[in-house]
């Protein structure tokens, strides 16, 4: 019988707890969190990323997602910003976490000068670690990881 209690005696206390349902629920929640975590942290603005044979996934660290759309507008975590707001956001996040990395998601049709300007604003705000997001083409050869 569940819990180790016998059916013949009402005076005996339950000496064990069946934890199987708890473990089942915990595992289901873990799977749900693992599947949805990628979608929660992904950028929300639509950009057409350029392709690069050496593209790879970024590690999970303190990241600020900076978007540059085809028209050259800047976004911080899908919120439109101007130069001053971009700089202020980078400074405040850098104060919270000195290991901050800026991930620049620039549309392949954005003007090179706007992407360079975004990098300049980010670096002047004190963020020295940044990357530009690309996608790997379908026919690219496998590149060795460093």
Residues 28 and 50 in one domain: no
Which residue segment(s) compose the domain that 143 sits in?
A: 44-146
Residues 14 and 51 in one domain: no
The per-residue pLDDT for 125 is 92
The per-residue pLDDT for 57 is 56
- For 64, the token pair is 């600020």
The per-residue pLDDT for 122 is 92
What digits encode the pLDDT tens for the residues 104-135?
Answer: 888 888 888 998 999 999 999 999 888 888 77
The total domain count for the chain is 2
Residues 37 and 90 in one domain: no
Residues 124 and 61 in one domain: yes
Quote the CA–CA distance of 63 and 105 in Å, as a whole number.
Answer: 12
End-to-end CA distance of the chain: 57
pTM for the whole structure:
0.55
Residues 106 and 68 in one domain: yes
Quote the CA–CA distance of 1 and 36 in Å, as a whole number.
Answer: 38
If you write DSSP's letter for every residue of 61-102 in order, what string do you get?
SSEEEEEE-TT--EEETTEEE-HHHHHHHHHHHHHH-TT-EE
């Amino acid at each position: 019988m569940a819990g180790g209690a016998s059916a013949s005696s009402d005076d005996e206390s339950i000496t064990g707890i069946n934890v199987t349902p708890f473990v089942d629920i915990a595992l289901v929640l873990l799977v749900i969190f693992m599947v949805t975590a990628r979608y929660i942290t992904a950028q929300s603005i639509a950009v057409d990323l350029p392709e690069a044979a050496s593209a790879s996934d970024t590690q999970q660290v303190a990241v600020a997602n900076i978007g540059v759309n085809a028209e050259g507008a800047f976004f911080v975590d899908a919120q439109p910003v101007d130069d001053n707001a971009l700089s202020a956001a980078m400074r405040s996040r850098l104060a919270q976490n000195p290991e901050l990395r800026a991930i620049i998601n620039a549309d392949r049709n954005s003007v090179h000068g706007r992407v360079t300007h975004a990098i300049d604003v980010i670096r002047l705000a004190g963020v020295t670690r940044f990357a530009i997001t690309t996608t790997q083409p379908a026919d690219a050869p496998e590149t060795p990881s460093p």
